[in-house]
Amino acid sequence: MKKAFPILGLLTAALLSYALYDALIVAPKEQTMGDVQRIFYYHVPSAWTAFLLFFLNFLASIQYLVRRDPETDKVANWVVITFAVLTCVAAFVIKLVPDLMKALPEGVELSSIATTGPIIAGIYFLLRKLFSVEDSDALAVTTAEVGVVFCTVVLVTGPLWARPVWGIWWTWDVRLTSTLVLWLIYVSYLVLRRFSSSGQTPVLAAALAVFGALDVPLVYFSIWIFRTQHPQPVIGGGGSIDPRMLRVLLVNWLAFLCFAFLVCWSRYRLERLKRQVEETQALEALLEPRGAVR
């Protein structure tokens, strides 16, 4: 795996360069906003990547909390399976009831409802297989740190895009405010992990992460539910996008995902090494004879 890291790093650098060329040169100029719209190819992929990382942090935090007790772990497994089944049943019921179909937000497909539960369950059990209890906590820390970086990119590029288009840097609408709250929650999570030395810190941090993850759906669906200054979604929700722009957007997102994976991989290895060193030092301190002169 160590030999694969430089190769993947070079491939990611090439993909990022190609994505940059696509965003600045290949993508057509937006007729209304002009070249400033090209921030879109960094703003949106950064947001999607941050949401994905916070979602992984959410699952890893839940696993750290429940897997410490075998009975709670079993209950959690059945809850996840039940959730996956219920989403499929819900999609079937909505299809049979016309009034429920009409109540769906424009652009929301039944297939997305039916597949959400099984996908979440699949990721949950995959993480459970690949990571131990302690490794789940290390994964939660890693994804939170990298997620905050990408969320910071969102909060920086948003005002840079808004100023020439809206004439303002910031407005306290639901989408922008909920995104800022999400960033503050995970910054608080990292501060707690960094400066608290209590033995209960991982548990408290995991509980905070679960609470913070509840803000992600609010951020995502806010522009579908509320009238906001933020533009409506161009993918789903009745929106539309030029196919050439969509291709460039997806290329940039793929590049950001690869970059996030490499950073998470490196940071996760460092976190595990740090914990191994701390465990070794604690063991040496216990084994050291009392009154020994250093």
Q: Could you tell me the residue ranges of all domains in the chain? A: 4-287
**Nearest partner of 37 among 24, 50, 47, judged by Cα:** 24
Q: Is the Cβ–Cβ distance between 216 and 182 less than 8 Å?
A: yes
pLDDT of residue 236: 57
pLDDT tens digits, one per residue of 138-182: 999 999 999 999 999 999 998 888 888 778 888 888 888 888 999
Residue 281 banded pLDDT, cuts 50, 70, 90 = confident
Paired residues of 34 in beta bridges: 30
Look at 87-91, 124-128, 170-174, 265-269 and tell me which has the smallest mean pLDDT: 170-174
Contacts made by residues 40-43, CB under 8 angstroms, sequence distance 24+: 40/161, 40/245, 40/249, 41/248, 41/249, 41/252, 42/153, 42/157, 42/252, 43/153, 43/154, 43/157, 43/158, 43/161
pTM for the whole structure: 0.89
Q: Is the Cβ–Cβ distance between 65 and 206 less than 8 Å?
A: yes
pLDDT of residue 231: 66
Average pLDDT over every residue of 245-266? 94
Residue 104 banded pLDDT, cuts 50, 70, 90 = low
User: Does residue 111 surpass a pLDDT of 90?
Assistant: no
pLDDT tens digits, one per residue of 5-62: 888 889 999 999 999 999 999 888 888 888 888 899 999 999 999 999 999 999 999 9
Single-letter amino acid, residue 79: V
Q: Which of the two residues, 61 and 95, has the higher pLDDT score? A: 61
pLDDT of residue 290: 59
pLDDT of residue 106: 63
User: Does residue 294 surpass a pLDDT of 60?
Assistant: no
User: Does residue 257 surpass a pLDDT of 90?
Assistant: yes
Q: Is the Cβ–Cβ distance between 60 and 278 less than 8 Å?
A: no
Q: Is the Cβ–Cβ distance between 90 and 113 less than 8 Å?
A: yes
Sign of dihedral through CA atoms 251, 254, 256, 262?
negative
182 Cβ contact partners less than 8 Å away, ≥ 6 residues apart: 54, 151, 212, 215, 216, 219
pLDDT of residue 226: 66
pLDDT tens digits, one per residue of 183-237: 999 999 999 988 877 778 889 999 999 988 888 888 877 776 766 666 666 665 5
Euclidean distance between CA atoms 66 and 48, whole angstroms = 27
Look at 15-29, 116-130, 141-155, 238-252 and tell me which has the smallest mean pLDDT: 238-252
pLDDT of residue 197: 73
